[in-house]
Amino acid sequence: MEKIQINVPRTITFVKANNTKLNNSLHVQYHRKQYDLVMAVDKTKLKLPADLPEKWNTGITYETKIDQHSALSADTAKLKKKDAERKDQLIHIFLTIRAQERSHKEDVRDAALRLAATLHPYEKIYKLPYEMESGRLLSMEDDIKTMTAEITALGLADAFENLKKINTEFEALHVRRRTGDADGKLPQAVEIRPQTDAAFDAVCQYIQAAYLSAASDDDRALIDQLVDRMNQTSRDFKTMQRSLTASHRKDNKKKPGEKKKPRKKPDDGPDIRLPEDGNQPKKPEGGGGGKQPETPKPGGAGEGKKPETPQPGSAGTGGTGGTGGGGPEIHLPEE
């Protein structure tokens, strides 16, 4: 049989990095790495339009700013931590005052009572919104200016000074976050990311076309090397994303030793409770050690005798006159 071989031109393919699954930081870093690889090659060899790399870089620049802005929002975590610090300091101050109200030293006790009366309106201000709490703390600073002696008597001078320091640091963080939000005015990541991806896809298509129309084997080898490096970059970022996903899943797994929640009964089902062993009817007492009374066999003792009809109230009836002579003593279970 004759062998037939069709010489089909070799093509190149790109490995996809699942861009939509990359978080913002990885997404912009991925594009930056790919951009650097492409820009290191002569653009005339790749036959890229002059403005395409610029458009791609515009998307990367915006994403970089968005990522930096989201890093600025890390101040939110610092803000919460600083707010917790001033709450703890406030609680420490008021617990100390409350404890010293019962001091055996009269001067300390009186100082605590005077300070408690003055600061009573501020006792729960840590529950207020940030701005209101900061304002009330500044008001409290004014109120305690005339109570230096009482504060010194209770040993709270350092605590009040530290509270003032914490509140100043909190306000600095709060202002920085607020002004950062106002100055940002950046597009959302969900808006710019698809455009950056589209520019990258266009670059890849031009590179594929350049490979097919390459003027020499050297140009083709150059593009081959570029695509290999770009594909390796995609694989690396896919691995990073998988590692992050696996780490999140591991953190969200139920810890060992956690008990399953009991299944709830259907609301319309009957509430059925089985009796416990201690509430079971007792077995008959007397001869036989708990054996069941035997049923007289036909032809046995007393056969042929007509049983006497017991009178109401007499022994042997099921009435109120007592227990039956030969029957077992039956105890009803208690409620």
Q: Is 171 exposed, middle or buried (0-12, 13-18, 19+ CB in 10 A)?
A: middle
What pLDDT shows up at residue 221?
Answer: 94
What pLDDT shows up at residue 79?
Answer: 86
Integer angstrom CA distances of residue 192 from 55, 56, 198, 324: 12, 11, 10, 95
- pLDDT tens for the chain, 335 residues long, are 788 888 887 889 999 888 888 888 899 999 999 999 999 998 889 999 999 999 999 999 999 888 876 665 667 788 889 999 999 999 999 999 999 999 999 999 999 999 999 999 999 999 998 888 998 999 999 999 999 999 999 999 999 999 999 999 998 888 877 665 544 566 778 889 999 999 999 999 999 999 999 989 999 999 999 999 999 999 999 999 888 876 655 555 555 555 555 555 444 444 445 445 545 444 444 444 445 555 555 544 444 444 555 454 444 444 444 444 455 565 555 54
What are the contacts of 70-73 at 24+ separation with CB within 8 A?
A: 70/24, 72/177, 72/180, 72/184, 73/177, 73/180
Q: How far does CA 216 lie from the centroid of its chain? A: 57
Handedness of CA 36, 41, 42, 45 (dihedral sign): negative
What pLDDT shows up at residue 182?
Answer: 46
What pLDDT shows up at residue 327?
Answer: 53
User: Do residues 80 and 157 lie in contact, with contact meaning Cβ atoms separated by under 8 Å?
Assistant: no
> Nearest Cα to 20, choosing from 251, 247, 238?
238
Q: What 3 state SS string does the chain have?
A: CCCCCCCCCCCCCCCCCCHHHCCHHHHHHHHHHHHHHHHCCCHHHHCCCCCHHHHHHHHHHHHHHHHHHHHHCCHHHHHHHHHHHHHHHHHHHHHHHHHHCCCCCHHHHHHHHHHHHHHHHHCCHHHCCHHHHHHHHHHHHHHHHHCHHHHHHCCCHHHHHHHHHHHHHHHHHHHHHHHHHHHHCCCCHHHHHHHHHHHHHHHHHHHHHHHHCCCCHHHHHHHHHHHHHHHHHHHHHHHHHHHHHHHHHHHHCCCCCCCCCCCCCCCCCCCCCCCCHHHCCCCCCCCCCCCCCCCCCCCCCCCCCCCCCCCCCCCCCCCCCCCCCCCCCCCCCCC
- Report d(CA 57, CA 63) in Å as an integer: 10
What pLDDT shows up at residue 288?
Answer: 46
